[in-house]
Structure 1
């Protein structure tokens, strides 16, 4: 294979990986009530079917980002595909809910290996003039997977059973493994000799785990209970120690010197806030239609399509526009569109709501996020030295996934926090929930509260995105590209 065609073939490899991992996560958003019913899970167990995967993905992405810089991306990417495919098969054989949760943790390791190496592989292979389009295609594939995941998952559960939301990953994984073995070139790591920050990563795991546990259980048993206090205390103590430790360890998990660049700092913070606000939209809408409207999984999957349709439409558009307009402008405009969508969802998620307005709100959230993500990712990846791209992407992915796991726990906590104890489990029971009209009104209030808070978070993300230093960003990108492609333009 010649050098000219390699980037395109590599993009096809990474697209299969993104498709595999994203399909798995998005299909579970509509499947949660079915899993809850099958395993007779309570509210906490239902939460952790989703949260276990998200939590460990968030932590392991940072670890694997550093490993890819040390040992190279090909081996780790292939390892991730193989592990993810094998565990997907095993998940469908789970005899009980806690076996499934443990397998989801192992599956998270495979998914983190794939996610961590995808963007650096693309960034290394494509020239700057084509990078925006390539990253746009990457986002487009992820958006398509988010679109297909609920539909495929809902259909398979409706026609077969819950096991197939894991088993349908297996053939995709096998194709991806074979294709990656053929296409990917061995590339040695650029930071050989460095070591993994074990203590730092354990601090992230226990600190973030404590916070997520507190959110996941606080809305169920109350905020002044010992488990919630312990979880919150773990977050504060491990978080403080992590910041102290990272300033002193020789090979830190997070290179805090990168945050001295305002553009890098603001781009990453807006990534986190966008993920925190947006990530639970599909899950909440899916639960809303199942509990309030008693829709089956396949019909619910159709109802949540507007989010990913919006992202799919936005991705190629912003890939084209990224070469004409600044990342600051595109990112901020994208977040502003999402904020309008969040506001519509806040207003219209009630028992007598128009499904049209709910659909429009979802579409705007997805379209705005699609406009935001590509230029923001490009900004992050091109404002760091080449040898630290794995770490930078690991940090970006960790913040995005951290936003996702906190968003899931936080939003479900908001929904259940306004409910009396006898109604809290009904959120996870879907069509099986026995609720009266008065109960539906209370449940609707919970959903509206969650979307109101997410609207505020999106407004905060807009302000943060606008604070990035546009002139310095352009200067850094120009300097890096002149170093990577010194003969460009001759």
Structure 2
């Protein structure tokens, strides 16, 4: 590749980068969506308890959340192209190995390693696009990226249900391998090195250690509180780790010359509210697909494949609204679009709260799920663009790492909290049925307990959506973007 690309080649390059990142996003998000509906099959294969079944999901989400922030910083220091290729390669290799896991503990360890590879891919995707696209067309590129993510979430439950039901749980992971190989080769052929030099700042080792144990403690406590009991020493230790280490982490980051998390961004209202809205939107939306899939498998005795089809309205809404959001984001302020998106999601969750029950109508529930997906799409593109286009190019990895970390933190806490709420008032004999599905008739009293748990979990999602609307509305006006860095 020549040092001075032609004008035609330069105009094509952003879209080639989009093709690279789209494949990476597709794989990493498919990995989450497929397991949401395949969880009962995987749990049954390994004879997992409610606790270990919970961690089949949470092990990936927890480590992915933490590593996203870490690798966002590393990408700014050492370069995004090389790190992206390493991450996608690791994700692909571990996907192959997971299918050979001999027991649940090996599976959990491999899921954590897979999460690191996925984190590298996710944290570099948006900065690569922001570096490649001109400011005027960046919202369209980000909109298409969200569209691809939506498609991944659309087909994820169906693919996961099909593989788990017909081919075996191993194929929930093995299908990643051929696409991952293609993605690595295409990235090596396509991506250029950015002319923006790495920051070469010191690596924040104390910050990395503190955030790992603080977040790990919070997730451990939330996920195990309802099964082990809130007085259990392990649960108490998790809560204490979070409460004690979080303020220490914030103090260390504030004083650090090269912090893992740049807290000074929170001193600007527009960034602070955009980041807060990112967390709350993810918290409110992430558990909906999981909750509704488990609901249909538990109370309607649906197979994993059927449950995957049942939750498609969420991602259909995202697919249809993502291109619209990308177009509108270049003309209207993020405050209006993102707040409207959260409002749509809130209406969808409200519908689901009333429709969950033994006499519910799938048609009405589908409308609610569709609105959740449509609102999410309308929120994500303008909110992401408002952050990325006003950040110094040399620190886009860190800024996007923080955004992605908060998005994933919302997802992992939402998953842990919603499952805790659903199972909190259930006797032990029913807790396992939530994770493994139910093949027999459930007594009326037990059905009522399960339905109440699902409703309370959805109410928590609605409260988060309303708070997210407020934080999105109070952000400031659109600032002037900084000068764009050049590309080789």
* TM-score, normalised via structure 1 length: 0.96
Structure 2 match to 1:42: 49
Counterpart-to-counterpart distance in 1, 2:195 and 2:204: 21
CA RMSD of aligned residues (A): 1.3
Are the equivalent residues in 2 in contact too, given 1:71–1:188 (CA < 8 A)? no
Question: CA offsets per residue over residues 168-226 of structure 1, 9 Å max, x none?
Answer: 00011011011111101123663432122111111111111111111111111222322
Unmatched 5+ stretches in structure 1: none
Structure 2 match to 1:265: 272
Structure 2 match to 1:62: 69
Counterpart-to-counterpart distance in 1, 2:400 and 2:349: 27
Query: What's the secondary structure of 1:413's corresponding residue?
Result: helix
Counterpart-to-counterpart distance in 2, 1:300 and 1:286: 5
Structure 1 match to 2:99: 92
1:343 aligns with 2:350: yes
1:109 aligns with 2:116: yes
Are the equivalent residues in 2 in contact too, given 1:213–1:231 (CA < 8 A)? yes
Structure 1 match to 2:241: 234
Compute the displacement of 1:249 (Å).
2.1
1:278-357 aligned within 5 A: 278-357=285-364
Compute the displacement of 1:342 (Å).
0.7
Counterpart-to-counterpart distance in 2, 1:171 and 1:214: 37
1:484 aligns with 2:484: yes
Counterpart-to-counterpart distance in 2, 1:455 and 1:77: 35
Counterpart-to-counterpart distance in 2, 1:252 and 1:350: 48
Structure 2 match to 1:360: 367
Q: Evaluate the alpha carbon distance shift between residue 257 and residue 94 of structure 1 in structure 2; reply closer, same or farther with a 3 A threshold.
A: same
Counterpart-to-counterpart distance in 1, 2:343 and 2:470: 10
1:145 aligns with 2:155: no
Are the equivalent residues in 2 in contact too, given 1:418–1:445 (CA < 8 A)? no
Give the length in aligned residue pairs.
Answer: 479
1:411 aligns with 2:418: yes
Q: Evaluate the alpha carbon distance shift between residue 433 and residue 266 of structure 1 in structure 2; reply closer, same or farther with a 3 A threshold.
A: farther
Is 381-390 or 205-214 further displaced after alignment?
Answer: 381-390
Counterpart-to-counterpart distance in 2, 1:388 and 1:193: 11
Counterpart-to-counterpart distance in 2, 1:25 and 1:456: 24
1:70-81 aligned within 5 A: 70-81=77-88
Counterpart-to-counterpart distance in 1, 2:108 and 2:485: 47
Compute the displacement of 1:140 (Å).
0.3
Q: 1:217 aligns with which of 218, 224, 229?
A: 224
Unmatched 5+ stretches in structure 2: none
Structure 1 match to 2:284: 277
Question: CA offsets per residue over residues 218-271 of structure 1, 9 Å max, x none?
Answer: 111222322221111110111011011112222110111111211011000000
Counterpart-to-counterpart distance in 1, 2:411 and 2:323: 24
* TM-score, normalised via structure 2 length: 0.96
